[in-house]
Chain A
Amino acid sequence: MTSKNKEDYLRSIYELQTKAGGSVKAGAIASKLGISKPSVSEMMGKLKNDGLVESAPYGAVSLTGKGVEEARKILRRHRLLEVFFSDFLGINAFHDEAHETEHALSEEAERRLEKLLKHPKKCPDGDEIPRRGAKVLPLARAPKGKPLRVLFSTLENEEELASIKALGIIHGEKARVLKKINRGPLILLVKGAEIAIGADVSSNIYVEVGG
């Protein structure tokens, strides 16, 4: 197993998780990466051993805190490179170019590239570039009053998932914790409305703070 391969998996799981919410099924990963389900299962075993993903019901997986951080690091590099290839070099196949290059980019090179590109916020497809220094944590542990950005949820219950989506608690949405009861529910300000969320739900919603 190459680390390049592993990075692709992490990035795909993260992207799937932020798009759909909830955990990610092996089938979805297989079709996204265009590989067979058995090889996905094999890789999942390895990622679990590394503590990057954890099992969810029905054979699905979701990223661990460590997994999220890894995935965001890769995604950041990938999207920065996409901006570089698309806007700077004018290459149409910017996605494939970025895909090939991302695994080789050093942290130093990444930092300089970012400066060169004038700290872009979005990739050419319009998706957010994960910010450096941002902390990812469950909403349940988010500090009161600080601006947050919703990343994804790991809720398993379809009804809960549907209701947070309907309330606009979706990837990229800005939010702020207004009130909080210790080990209890919190009130989140999102889309101009105050939403009370119980601890069991808020510990399954991941947000980004600062950065």
Chain B
Amino acid sequence: MSGCCGPGSKLRGADIVLVGNPNVGKSALMNQLTGVGAFVSNYPGTTVEILEGDAVFSGKRIRFADLPGIYSLKGLSEDEKAALGYLESANPRVIINIVDSTKLERNIFLTLQLLGLGIPTIVALNFHQEATETGAEIDGKKLSALLGIPVVEIDPISGSGVGKLVRVSSGMLTEKKKGARRKVGLGSEERTHSKAAAISSKVTVRNGRSGGRRYGWLDRITGEPLSGTIVMALVLAALFACLFLAGGGLSALIGDIFAAYAKPPLSSFISIFPSAVVREILRYMLIDGINAGLQIAIPYVFVFYIIIAFLEDSGYMPRMAFLLDRVMHRFGLHGKAVVPMMLGFGCSVPAILSTRVLPNTRERLLTAILITLIPCSARTAVILGAVGVFVGWQYALLIYAIILLLVLATGFVLGRSLPGERLGFIMEIPPYRMPSAKNVLAKTWIRMKDFVFTAFPLVFIGSGVIGGFSALGLMPAILKPAEPVVAGWLMLPVVAGITLLFGILRKELALEMLAVLGGSANLLSFMTPLQIFVFALVLAIYVPCISTVGVLKREFGWKRCLLISGSTIALAIVIGGIAARIMPALGLSLN
């Protein structure tokens, strides 16, 4: 019954569904309940993610689903509509409503709405200790009596109370669904809010303690414009340092292991085949394809995901969104787009996947377009490896400056012209919390699975296709029509055209190919500094890579995907040609 676990697998109603506000510890509880066996699927027709997983309890297999965090069943955001849709149509048998004891009143608002659905519901009271420390203890028994449903105190990090929660909620699986007491939509928010306030004040016991919020000092430093900006710069610097050091180290290590242990058996397997063409195709797929996936995707993306999961779970991300909201407004975006764009410096694929946090298609699309332009780690490798080494670091910086200008200009123009409603920035800033290693790893693991399913098949197949063309000697014929552009307009050697094609698989592969085809690792022996500059510039701008195309297609459909890809190719050619003509005037010689 849980045979398929790939993304996009069909949604089947869960037995028990977890519902609650954002940042109440839902994922931590889900993690406790189902472990890393959970998988992500999309709510049909949306990009809203629903996490599902199974747990066996006293011989019975129970399927749990974790709905996106919501504040209200009457909300109009995609998440809120999907959550209500799921509760009304997927027929879950029990709702576990996770409630944050430190914000009881606002959480009870959702509980009261859930009760209106008529599905047996149990409240899991989280952050009980934190509430007690700040002086507002919650009387769970009284809350249970007032709501008329069971209330269990839990701590999903240590796991205390989770056993009881499962016991009580699985006992409720046999309970019959009472017809919806009233339809959601009736009962005004004002009434529900005041009812929630009344219940909350009855069950809150002032215990006289007045501990402030945890990590109050951190909150002050990171929230003020000046000190916050300094901290943000440090966090970003640390993030990129980790990415390049840990990611780079891991990448080299994996490369070495692959070359030593995987390459020889694979090579001897390939040599079994008598046809040279088949051998060539297999070599591209099995050796270059797998190596690409292992060396780029796994280390960089994995390291990035870990850091991001840590920053997310700590509560830092929303503070960054707050600080940068004003700047992002100039591009018709708002604070929430900061995180996906930052991810773009690592790898475009997870960055584009993460645009799902944005409230509507317009903002997702705009952010994704900007992400395709942001130099990912593979493009950075080309810019530094080709221009930095052979032309000079100031020219490498110039490429970054040109790309930065392009991102700003694109954001500025599209931000004003892209149709669709601009939504304002409204986001809860959760208190700082120490992330648990287990949750960070579980989150990273689930995302890695999703990423591997999206990106790997494309790199694999694409490698085979290009290998086939090359083995059949079709490359020159394919590149013939591109010659006027490559040689005429961009003034590059024709071999550069071939390598640009390879760059579609993996950007830094183009650099390696250029060295192979040019016959020397010293690019200057067959290219002028200007040609190297133009080559790197074009490579950095045109459509990121086949995995990015794949993820664009998955998130936005073929039409928009091709439009974005086509536009970046056109942009790269235009800017490359202009650079080839203007740069000599700036002192970069042709010979």
Chain A residues engaging chain B, CB cutoff 8 angstroms: 19, 155, 157-160, 162-168, 170-171, 173, 178-179, 181-185, 187, 191-201
Q: Is the CB of B425 within 8 A of A181?
A: no
Given A19-B190, A167-B71, A185-B322, are A195 and B426 also a contact pair (CB < 8 Å)? Answer: yes
Q: List residues of chain A with CB within 8 A of the CB of B323.
A: 181
Q: Is the CB of B189 within 8 A of A170?
A: yes
Q: State A181–B76 Cα separation when bound (angstroms).
A: 28
Contact of A184 among B189, B326, B424, B431 (CB under 8 A): B326
Given A179-B224, A181-B326, A194-B428, are A162 and B74 also a contact pair (CB < 8 Å)? Answer: yes
Q: List residues of chain B with CB within 8 A of the CB of A155.
A: 424
Q: State A15–B113 Cα separation when bound (angstroms).
A: 25
B318 at the interface (CB under 8 A from A): yes
The main secondary structure of chain A at its interface with chain B is mixed
Given A160-B423, A165-B189, A198-B325, are A192 and B76 also a contact pair (CB < 8 Å)? Answer: no
B193 at the interface (CB under 8 A from A): yes
Q: List residues of chain A with CB within 8 A of the CB of B318.
A: 196
Q: State A100–B551 Cα separation when bound (angstroms).
A: 67
Chain B residues engaging chain A, CB cutoff 8 angstroms: 71-72, 74-77, 80, 102-106, 109, 189-190, 193, 223-225, 318, 321-323, 325-326, 329, 334-335, 359, 421-431
Specify which of B80, B109, B323, B429 lies most central, judged by the most chain A CB atoms within 10 Å of its CB.
B429
Q: Which residue of chain B lies nearest to A202 when distances are taken between CB atoms in the complex?
A: B424
Name the distance in Å between A207's Cβ and chain B's nearest Cβ: 16
Q: Is the CB of A167 within 8 A of B428?
A: yes
Q: Which residue of chain B lies nearest to A187 when distances are taken between CB atoms in the complex?
A: B429
Contact of B75 among A163, A168, A185, A197 (CB under 8 A): A163
Name the distance in Å between B139's Cβ and chain A's nearest Cβ: 17
Q: State A200–B330 Cα separation when bound (angstroms).
A: 12
Q: Is the CB of B326 within 8 A of A183?
A: yes
Q: Is the CB of A163 within 8 A of B71?
A: yes
Name the distance in Å between B216's Cβ and chain A's nearest Cβ: 12
Q: Is the CB of A166 within 8 A of B334?
A: no
Q: List residues of chain A with CB within 8 A of the CB of B326.
A: 181, 183-185, 199
Q: Is the CB of A179 within 8 A of B223?
A: yes
Q: List residues of chain A with CB within 8 A of the CB of B421.
A: 157
Given A170-B189, A198-B325, are A159 and B106 also a contact pair (CB < 8 Å)? Answer: no
Name the distance in Å between A190's Cβ and chain B's nearest Cβ: 8
Q: Which residue of chain B lies nearest to A190 when distances are taken between CB atoms in the complex?
A: B106
Name the distance in Å between B433's Cβ and chain A's nearest Cβ: 14
Q: Is the CB of A166 within 8 A of B71?
A: yes
Contact of A196 among B80, B225, B426, B431 (CB under 8 A): B426
Q: Is the CB of A187 within 8 A of B322?
A: yes
Q: List residues of chain A with CB within 8 A of the CB of B76.
A: 158-159, 162-163
New contact pairs (5) apart from A196-B322, A196-B335, CB-CB < 8 Å: A158-B76, A163-B75, A163-B76, A165-B74, A191-B106
Q: List residues of chain A with CB within 8 A of the CB of B424.
A: 155, 157, 160, 197-198, 200-201
Q: Is the CB of B426 within 8 A of A167?
A: yes
Q: State A165–B109 Cα separation when bound (angstroms).
A: 11
Q: List residues of chain B with CB within 8 A of the CB of A183.
A: 326
Given A163-B77, A185-B322, are A168 and B426 also a contact pair (CB < 8 Å)? Answer: no
Q: List residues of chain B with CB within 8 A of the CB of A168.
A: 105-106, 109, 193
Name the distance in Å between A96's Cβ and chain B's nearest Cβ: 25
Name the distance in Å between A196's Cβ and chain B's nearest Cβ: 4
Q: List residues of chain B with CB within 8 A of the CB of A178.
A: 223
Q: List residues of chain B with CB within 8 A of the CB of A158.
A: 76
Q: State A168–B200 Cα separation when bound (angstroms).
A: 14
Can you identify 12 A-B contacts, CB atoms within 8 angstroms?
Answer: A157-B423, A163-B426, A166-B71, A166-B189, A167-B426, A179-B223, A185-B326, A187-B322, A192-B106, A196-B428, A201-B424, A201-B426
